[in-house]
């Protein structure tokens, strides 16, 4: 397999390069040989999370005090890029939900007791985490969620449903968003709760069948008079919306990163194909149109990569960079869709066949412009800040 390596920005340190090599070895040795079986099974084995924990790769966004390495957002983008480069979209989907989209709520806003109870097991890969915000009537519009949590003495009682929850089938810990003040309007009156698997009233209604990302499990959840102790409240009561919005910056950065990795893999796969595919007495690579098409795609990926790492640097510096992260999410994910579609075209009929890497990557890419904030929502975030 040809490897397309772009020049690293200055923010990628020698330590991060070593981590990248470690992730690449892991993907080559422990993901690629068996990932087709995971696609058929509809999930990633729990042993993979434990293996990532053994390698120290699940704690990059968690404090050192609880077993993490606290390497920050640039490390998250690099981590996401290499997982995306596996060419199996379900791998970054499941793993990044665990590391950057859900468990970070506990590290950032949990009590000391909550952090000590959950974060070490999360970092070791012993407990898999999911984030349960999306509902049938509230996706990117988080303020529109209907799930309710009512205080009852020393407990909260939760009723409602959640949809499209990654790690929802095999997860152990759910970060659940629910409305705790029904009189509050819009974004006010939403809180977060830690709900453990096996809690009476937590129902995994069904495992959803998806267009792509087949090796990540996705579920619909119901909460039927689910009771959790008052200590399950995560962060400040009625401030959950702002916590979700804040953590969206992590989510959008890693989605951009995984899109970049997937785009690079698609170009690599296609370079191998066009350099050997004979047509009209020569290879496809001998055609100027082919070379220029792939050159333009590689240029757009390089631009998306530079934009994404720049946004990650701003986030690491604590700057207000919602606009820049939104731009990165828009551009990297839209470029990913363009890249895989163009690469499939260059594969011709073979690219349309199940079992071909580019066919799988084309299906997997489609969620990137929807999940974590659809492109249209991201454009509004940018527009408001022009």
Residue 139's pLDDT is what?
66
Across 92-133, the runs of DSSP E, i.e. the strands, are: 129-132
Query: Distance between alpha carbon 234 and the CA centroid of its chain, in Å?
Result: 21
For all residues of the chain together, what is the average pLDDT?
95
What does the alpha-carbon distance between residue 1 and residue 270 come to, in Å, rounded to a whole number?
10
SS3 385: coil
Mean pLDDT to the nearest integer, 205-221: 95
What band does 137 get if pLDDT is binned at 50, 70 and 90? confident
Q: Is the pTM of this model over 0.85?
A: yes
What does the alpha-carbon distance between residue 362 and residue 232 come to, in Å, rounded to a whole number?
40
Burial class (CB in 10 A: 0-12, 13-18, 19+), 50: middle
Q: Is the pLDDT assigned to residue 211 strictly greater than 70?
A: yes
**Tens of pLDDT, residues 346-384:** 999 999 999 999 999 999 999 999 999 999 999 999 999
Residue 355's pLDDT is what?
93
Point out the catalytic residue in the list 81, 82, 220, 251.
Answer: 251
What does the alpha-carbon distance between residue 279 and residue 302 come to, in Å, rounded to a whole number?
29
292 contact partners, CB below 8 Å, separation of at least 6: none
Residue 142's pLDDT is what?
74
Percent above pLDDT 90 for the chain: 94
Q: What number does CATH give the domain 241-383?
A: 1.20.140.10
Residue spans of the domains in the chain: they are: 14-128, 130-238, 241-383
Residue 342's pLDDT is what?
98
Residue 309's pLDDT is what?
98
Residue 3's pLDDT is what?
75
Residue 348's pLDDT is what?
96
Q: How many CB atoms lie within 10 A of CB 119?
A: 24
What does the alpha-carbon distance between residue 152 and residue 112 come to, in Å, rounded to a whole number?
24
Residue 296's pLDDT is what?
98
Q: Is the pLDDT assigned to residue 107 strictly greater than 90?
A: yes
Superfamily of domain 130-238: Butyryl-CoA Dehydrogenase, subunit A, domain 2 (2.40.110.10)
Percent above pLDDT 70 for the chain: 99
What does the alpha-carbon distance between residue 203 and residue 221 come to, in Å, rounded to a whole number?
6
Residue 188's pLDDT is what?
87
What does the alpha-carbon distance between residue 26 and residue 31 come to, in Å, rounded to a whole number?
7
How far, CA to CA in Å, does 10 sit from each of 14, 306, 309, 310, 330? 10, 10, 10, 10, 23
What does the alpha-carbon distance between residue 224 and residue 201 come to, in Å, rounded to a whole number?
5
Residue 181's pLDDT is what?
92
What band does 2 get if pLDDT is binned at 50, 70 and 90? low
What does the alpha-carbon distance between residue 369 and residue 140 come to, in Å, rounded to a whole number?
12
**Tens of pLDDT, residues 11-54:** 999 999 999 999 999 999 999 999 999 999 999 999 999 999 99
Examine the residue annotation and report whether 313 is marked as an active-site residue of this protein.
Answer: no
Return the CATH architecture of domain 14-128. Orthogonal Bundle (1.10)
Residue 1's pLDDT is what?
61
Mean pLDDT to the nearest integer, 57-85: 97
Mean pLDDT to the nearest integer, 75-104: 98
Q: How many CB atoms lie within 10 A of CB 311?
A: 28
Q: Is the pLDDT assigned to residue 138 strictly greater than 90?
A: no
Domain 14-128 matches domain 130-238 at the CATH topology level:
no
Residue 190's pLDDT is what?
95
Q: Which two three-digit tokens encode residue 151?
A: 């205080």
Residue 136's pLDDT is what?
87
What does the alpha-carbon distance between residue 256 and residue 308 come to, in Å, rounded to a whole number?
7
């Amino acid at each position: 397999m040809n490897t397309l390596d772009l020049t690293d920005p200055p923010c990628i340190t020698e330590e991060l390069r070593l981590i990248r090599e470690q992730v690449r070895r892991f993907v080559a040795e422990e993901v690629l040989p068996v990932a087709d079986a995971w696609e058929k099974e509809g999930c990633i084995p729990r042993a993979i999370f434990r293996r990532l924990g053994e390698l120290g790769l699940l704690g990059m966004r968690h404090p050192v005090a609880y077993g993490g390495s606290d390497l920050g957002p640039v490390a998250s983008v690099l981590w996401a890029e290499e997982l995306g480069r596996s060419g199996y979209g379900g791998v970054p989907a499941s793993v990044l939900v665990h590391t950057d989209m859900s468990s970070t709520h506990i590290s950032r806003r949990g009590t000391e007791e909550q952090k000590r109870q959950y974060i070490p097991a999360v970092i070791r890969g012993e407990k898999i985490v999911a984030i349960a915000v999306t509902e049938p009537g509230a996706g990117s519009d988080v303020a529109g969620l209907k799930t309710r949590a009512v205080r009852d003495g020393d407990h909260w009682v939760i009723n409602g449903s959640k949809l499209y929850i990654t790690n929802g089938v095999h997860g152990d810990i759910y970060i659940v968003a629910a409305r705790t003040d029904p009189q509050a309007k819009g974004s006010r009156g939403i809180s977060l709760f830690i709900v453990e698997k096996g809690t009476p009233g937590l129902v995994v209604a069904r495992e959803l069948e998806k267009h792509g990302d087949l090796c990540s499990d996705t579920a619909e959840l119901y909460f039927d008079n689910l009771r959790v102790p008052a200590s399950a409240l995560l962060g400040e009561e009625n401030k959950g919306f702002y916590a979700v919005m804040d953590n969206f910056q992590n989510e959008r950065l890693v989605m951009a990163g995984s899109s970049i990795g997937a785009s690079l893999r698609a170009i690599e796969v296609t370079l191998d194909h066009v350099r050997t595919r004979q047509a009209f007495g020569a290879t496809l690579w001998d055609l100027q149109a082919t070379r220029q098409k792939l050159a333009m795609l590689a240029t757009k990926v390089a631009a998306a990569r530079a934009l994404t790492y720049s946004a990650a640097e701003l986030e690491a510096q604590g700057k207000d960079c919602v606009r820049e992260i939104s731009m990165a999410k828009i551009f990297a994910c839209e470029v990913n869709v363009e890249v895989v579609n163009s690469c499939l075209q260059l594969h011709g009929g073979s690219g349309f066949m199940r079992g071909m890497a580019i066919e799988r990557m084309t299906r997997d890419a489609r969620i990137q412009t929807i999940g974590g904030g659809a492109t249209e929502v991201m454009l509004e975030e940018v527009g408001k800040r022009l």
